[in-house]
Structures are given as structure tokens and as C-alpha cells.
Amino acid sequence: MFHRLLSLFAVASAIACSTASGGTVDVVVTDANGKPAANAVVALANDTAQPASHVPPRSVIDQQHETFLPLVVLVRKGGEVVFTNNDTTMHQVYSFSAIKQFQFEIDKGQVSKPVIFDKAGVAAIGCNIHDNMVAYVFVADAPYAAITDAKGTAELRDVPDGAWHASVWHPQSRIGKQPAPTALAVAGDTRLALKIQISAAPAMSRMHKDY
């Protein structure tokens, strides 16, 4: 009997906690034509929340078939990215982005040392051998951030009720053309629709010779 009471108390507490902490923000990101925008990063911030508290501290970028996978990864400010090479050839990974400059060689089957990203922003990653390889590391200092899937959707969990502003970035959004942050009032589970203007992916990339 005591155990049952304890269980009920635990469930009630969990419900109470979840209500007090807000809910899940379901985001849909579309492009200017209303089509789902995959690989967009949606971030929620306000003036009081802890920086990057719900953003992964570590992400992995793999290399297969002369492609970085996935195209976009997300880490919190101060977080790290590890590169794995499951390709049949070596790569020379580099970045000359403003927030992080690095380069290293990675042979077949190897795992890189963690690369620490201690500044917020976006780092474009390339391979010095294969010009068509590209990936993006989004380094967030917002407390909540997520990447959209193929349907353009993302889920930000445990967002406290209150006033937030939502920002969105996409690898094909042009420099300086990202939309201004959108005000968002979170009250329990909340839906959010965002639009972003993105340029077309480069044509011919399917068969492009890269050297």
C-alpha cells in the first residue's frame, strides 16, 4: 500500500513538474515556396535561460562515399565534434571559418581527436582533397536548439513557459539574409511555424567532378 502511494506521488510530481516547466515546442520550417526545409537549425533563447543547457555537448561527423554525414551538426558553445572516417579513402578535414580554424588528416577507419568549438556561430567544414565535401557545425549559445528533419520538423523539449524568441538558420540561407528572430510565447506544448528563404542546392552536384 505504501509503495502504491509512493508511485502515485511520483507520477503526480512528474505531471506537476512537467506542467510547471512548460512543454514541447514543435517547429515546422518551410522555404519561401512552402516546402519543408530540412537541415535547418532552430534555436530558442530568452534573457534568463541558461546558455546551451539543452544542446548536445558532443556531435559526430562521419565520412562515407566522399560525403560528410550529416550535413549539419549541432553542438553547444564549448562543445566538441568528433570526425570518423568510414570511407575508402583518406580525407583532409579543414575549416577556415571565423569561429574556428583547424585542419587534420584522417585515414580510413580512423576517429579524430575531438575538435572544441568555443565560439558561437557556424563553421563550414571542407576536405582539401575532395572539393565537393561540405558540412556545417552550428555552435549554439541559445539554451534550446534542434535540427529539422526531412519533413522540416524539429522538437524542442522541456521549454519553460514564457516569452522566447526563435531564430532559424539554414546552410543555403544567404549571409545576412536570415530572418529576424520571431517572438514566441510558450505555454505548455506549443507549435511554431517558421519560414526561411534558401537558395537552391547547387545543380550538377550529383555527378560533379571534384578535382
- What residues line the site for other proteins (CB under 8 A)? 88-92, 94-98, 101-103, 105, 108, 124, 128-129, 174-176, 199-200, 202-204, 206-209, 211
Q: How far is the CB of 99 from other proteins (least distance, A)?
A: 11
Residue 82 DSSP SS3 = strand
Closer residue to other proteins, CB minimum distance, 59 or 97: 97
The maximal CA–CA distance of the chain, rounded, in angstroms, is 73
Q: How far is the CB of 52 from other proteins (least distance, A)?
A: 23
Closer residue to other proteins, CB minimum distance, 180 or 201: 201
Closer residue to other proteins, CB minimum distance, 21 or 205: 205
Residues 6 or more apart from 39 whose CB is under 8 A from it?
70, 71, 72, 147, 148, 170, 171
CA distances from 75 to 43, 61, 102, 146, 201 (A): 12, 12, 17, 10, 24
Closer residue to other proteins, CB minimum distance, 166 or 198: 198
Instruction: Give just the sign of the alpha carbon dihedral 211, 66, 72, 103.
Output: negative
Cell numbers for 106: 584522417
Buried b (16+ CB within 10 A) or exposed e, 13-22: eeeeeeeeeb
Closer residue to other proteins, CB minimum distance, 18 or 197: 197
CA angle, corner 193, sides to 191 and 197, nearest 5?
Answer: 160
Q: How far is the CB of 81 from other proteins (least distance, A)?
A: 16
Closer residue to other proteins, CB minimum distance, 82 or 90: 90
